[in-house]
Chain A
Amino acid sequence: MLQSVLLGFIFFLLAPVCGAIISGADRFLGARMQRRQGPTIVQPFYDLYKFFQKKAYIVNGLQDFLVIGHLMFVMLSGWIIYAGQDILLAVFSLTLAEMFLCLAAFSASAPYSNMSAQRELLQMTCTEPMLLLMAIGFYLHAGSFLVSDMVLGKMPAIVSCPGMFAGFLIILVIELRKSPFDVSSSHHAHQEMVKGITTDISGKLMGWVELAEWNEIFLMFTFVGLFFVCSNPWSILWAILAGAGAMFLMTLIDNTFPRVKWERMLTIVWSSTFIFAGGNLLVLMLLKG
């Protein structure tokens, strides 16, 4: 028990560093894809430092506590994964975290925040089935929802869940707020939603949101890695390679596709979830039964 609790703390060490590096690498790579020099890979650290140097102008007294709730629950879901606990609970906790961020935006009672919060809810609606199905796929593969059982399996989960992985890559675009599915808020300038869900969050509070985002990014790539990890220690290398590949793919997609309207997002994501993950589920259940 104590061991798993301590293992969970690895996430708190790794996530901010790796999340930031991933996000910096994305900016660097994206710039290179546009034949620009771009910022250095450690740029996100500078950004975070800057946020904490600034004052925070809040719009109401609820915002700060909601933002901190967001951060805490993102960290909790990371902890659940690394402590080897129930992956389904990690997904639920992540939903709760997103909900906190949405509420922080809703509480501003401001046009851009409000609209983006609604869109964020829609994005959650798009991603949640796939996240749950991913957890179910792991369950069918390993026979347990516990992450500790998954990583000790004989074969990596990708063997039995390739459809789930394909579906997950599609919602990864949403989770990382990448074009074409960055309807609620985007990393790029000049979008119709200003800065989306964080429009009315500023200064230090924005720093907390940024930190939470790094955690979330790292968590998402952890999910990618979970598809590849098995009892063989070398599989960790495969997981890292897969994560790097997924990251490159995401940056490429981000720089290739224009943003779609929400109806298209909903149809594309739900139907791909239904086809890839649902089909995979059907096959797994047939094999099992």
Chain B
Amino acid sequence: MKMSQSPWMLHYDGSSCNGCDIEVLASTTPVYDLERFGIINTGDPKHADIFLITGGINYQNRSVVQQLYSQMPDPKVVVAVGICACDGGIFKDCYNILGGVDKVIPVDVYVPGCAARPESIIDGVVRALDLLEIKRDRMRRGLSPEEQGWAIANINEGRTGKAVRKRDESVSGGNKA
């Protein structure tokens, strides 16, 4: 039995234009039917395994994203959906935008597109599942689930969490799976 047969998903809308969100919802419709993989779109970080984020990170939602991430029990994966979530997209240079999701939390899978198509979202999620297995195995061996230590300072306080990125790029995108 694999734990990736039951991935539950938390969908968070950052500062997106809602285009990608529509596509995420579209993937749960009968046409695409995410649930056939056992995926449930839950609203609760404490039950979720996959953190699906659309839209970039701004100063307002930075702490929210970090807190939600910190409340998801390990092992967990983060999927950035859409080009804004990947690196800020067309909003990248706005005064209020920090950039992509990886500015504040570690991202495992980048799904590009504007908006990302349901097929590619599903593909991204399914790739994330393999990463989930890898992280679980790492935990079983007594290692930290994340390959390289991400330290999110002060995450429980939620206000001024700062992410420090020191991470091996090769893992992201699920190439190792």
A interface with B by C-beta (< 8 Å): 27, 31, 34-39, 43, 45-47, 49-50, 53-57, 189-191, 194-195, 198-203, 206
Contact = CB atoms under 8 A, between A and B. Distances in A.
B136 A46 contact: no
Contacts of A202: 46-47, 71, 73
A50 B5 contact: yes
B33 to A, nearest CB: 5
Given A50-B6, A190-B41, A195-B44, A57 B73 contact: yes
A36 B30 contact: yes
Contact of B74 (A36, A38, A54): A54
A35 B36 CA distance: 12
A187 to B, nearest CB: 8
A54 B49 contact: yes
27 contacts: A27-B35, A36-B30, A36-B35, A37-B33, A37-B36, A38-B33, A38-B35, A43-B38, A46-B1, A49-B3, A50-B3, A50-B7, A50-B8, A54-B49, A54-B73, A57-B71, A189-B40, A189-B43, A190-B41, A194-B44, A195-B44, A195-B46, A198-B47, A199-B46, A200-B46, A203-B46, A203-B73
Interface residues of B, number: 28
B70 to A, nearest CB: 9
B47 A206 contact: yes
B5 to A, nearest CB: 4
Contacts of A195: 42-44, 46-47
A39 B35 contact: yes
Interface in B1-17: 1-3, 5-8
Interface string B15-26: 000000000000
B75 interface: yes
A55 B74 contact: yes
A189 B11 CA distance: 11
B45 to A, nearest CB: 9
A-B pairs with lowest CB-CB distance, top 7:
A202-B46, A195-B44, A46-B5, A46-B6, A50-B6, A189-B41, A203-B73
Contact of B46 (A31, A46, A201): A201
